[in-house]
Structure 1
Amino acid sequence: MKTAFRWLLSAVFMVQIYVMMAVFGLVFAPWALVSPRGARMACRTYAGYVLWCARWMLGLRTEVRGPIPTEEVIIAAKHQSFLDILIIFHATPAAKFIMKRELLWTPIIGIYAKRLGCVPVNRGKKGNAIARMVKDVAAEFSDPGQLVIYPQGTRVAPGADKPYKIGTGVLYAALEQPCVPAATNVGLFWPRTGILRKPGLAVVEFLPSIAPGLERNAFMATLEEQVESHSDKLMQEAGFTRDGISQHG
């Protein structure tokens, strides 16, 4: 009975946050179309609304740990679900994401992503995609902020292994900016697929920045070790271990 109620509550929660995405998008549209500040305010307000609803509807609390990046940096983050996007965007002053090019054609999301200066990438030919990504990021320098990239390229379930893509290392070398690794455990509560959402404490942790200038392979090794080890710690804190045994309910 308890599980069935959670499923129902999760379904209601998911339906209403997507309805409200459309509402927020339409209400803020006049301001967003004339000013990127309007688009950012719309998205930050929406993110705050979803985090608030998750807390009182689902018992799903969120927490940000570590120094929040406010300067012009790369944030290389573990990506487990839509929730970590919301937490990072709500916490940082000027986040813009490297995103799949197909999302530009998504109603509301695509329009706002353009206004925020998000950088679309093509998942096609690897070399061309990376070169285009660096070029497109450089074009956004007129509007500085925190550039968020997901080194594994997609959402990854807790405990699953997926290689880190070299594109993050190429970008790190090209931009010559500090890189802030970010760990998370959000996938334990808000999985990348399905409807069920669970109560608990979902955390995004910003880790000490990696200074520019490291050789690419050394950078990638450092980044992966930092993000994975700290994500494992956050998941263990919530009762999950990589062998699949979880105390979390």
Structure 2
Amino acid sequence: MKLLQWVRSILYIVQVTVAMPVLGLAFAPWAMFSKRGAYRACKTYAAWAMWSARWLIGLRCEVRGTVPDGEVLVAAKHQSFLDILMIFHALPRAKFIMKREVLWTPVIGQYAKRMGMIAVNRGKRGQAITKMMADVNAGRVEPGQLVIYSQGTRVAPGLSAPYKVGTAVLYDQMGQVCVPVATNAGHFWPRRGLYRKPGLAVVEFLEPIEPGLDKRSFMARLEEEVESRSNALLHEAGWRPTVTA
């Protein structure tokens, strides 16, 4: 049975990889002249990736909680490429803060530029935060939902990584509500490897954190809520920590 799942996983990866340039080219004429076209292309790809995962590898995707539709800061747990797709598809007008290297990726990079995503140099934390705020304040980020991965990278289930101060800086200076997001996507779609597990992948929008907290209190609350809920979702999915001798 596991061998069959391996075959299905590889077939899924092949078709979803091919679908990206195919849809990218199909939507290119519209996307060149309209950001709406670029968004539609990427939302179509995300929808296809999730829909085909259901029938090909038995992986269902579910969004829980209240999805924000106004101008908010979204601080999300990042375990997998799948949680990017789910969050982007759920939000009306997502603007991701991402590492600069993504802009060099074929198709993804071109569409990210067209939609006005914010690219930062992760290796220079101070400069990255300064650039994020400059882009926000200069209006280069259009109204919508500004999405930041607070740990700065994908973190596999069972591993830990510190929460970066950039989220607190944005929360403080933007003066907007922050919506935390938890997920268990990494249990089914790992950071590395080809095997995809069947089951129910969840992205959950948690209770908003209103503006006005000091940075230390905000970061403590954000981390506690995101980590505890993500762990609960992982256990719901059947994940258990690896026991080492």
Provide the TM-score with structure 2 as the length reference.
0.96
Q: Deviations over 1:109-133 (max 9, x none)?
A: 1110011121001112221221112
Q: How far did 1:226 drift?
A: 0.5
Q: How far did 1:137 drift?
A: 2.8
1:82 maps to 2:77? no
Give the secondary structure class of the aligned counterpart of 1:187: helix
Segments of 5+ residues of structure 1 without an aligned counterpart are none
Q: How far did 1:176 drift?
A: 0.9
Q: How far did 1:136 drift?
A: 1.9
What letter matches 2:74 in structure 1? I
What letter matches 1:176 in structure 2? G
Partner of 2:203: 204
Partner of 1:51: 50
Rounded Cα–Cα distance in structure 2 between residues aligned with 1:3 and 1:195: 13
Rounded Cα–Cα distance in structure 1 between residues aligned with 2:141 and 2:56: 40
Partner of 2:242: 244
Give the secondary structure class of the aligned counterpart of 1:90: helix
Q: Runs (4+) of structure 1 moved beyond 2 Å?
A: 137-142
Q: Deviations over 1:206-231 (max 9, x none)?
A: 00110111100110000000000000
Where in structure 2 are the equivalents of 1:50-199 lying within 5 Å?
50-140=49-139, 143-199=142-198
Quick one: structure 1 residues 101 and 44, their matched pair in 2 at CA, closer, same or farther if it must change by over 3 Å? same
Quote the RMSD (CA, aligned, Å): 1.1
What letter matches 1:31 in structure 2? W
Partner of 1:224: 223
Rounded Cα–Cα distance in structure 1 between residues aligned with 2:121 and 2:158: 27
Q: How far did 1:139 drift?
A: 3.2
Number of matched residues?
Answer: 243
Segments of 5+ residues of structure 2 without an aligned counterpart are none
Q: How far did 1:238 drift?
A: 1.1
Q: How far did 1:134 drift?
A: 1.3
Rounded Cα–Cα distance in structure 2 between residues aligned with 1:125 and 1:196: 34
Provide the TM-score with structure 1 as the length reference.
0.95
Rounded Cα–Cα distance in structure 2 between residues aligned with 1:3 and 1:140: 50
Bigger CA drift: 3-12 or 133-142? 133-142
Rounded Cα–Cα distance in structure 2 between residues aligned with 1:97 and 1:177: 16
Q: Do the aligned partners of 2:116 and 2:141 also contact (CA within 8 Å) in 1?
A: no
Rounded Cα–Cα distance in structure 2 between residues aligned with 1:143 and 1:136: 10
Give the secondary structure class of the aligned counterpart of 1:228: helix
How high is the sequence identity, in percent, across the aligned residues? 61
Q: How far did 1:141 drift?
A: 5.5
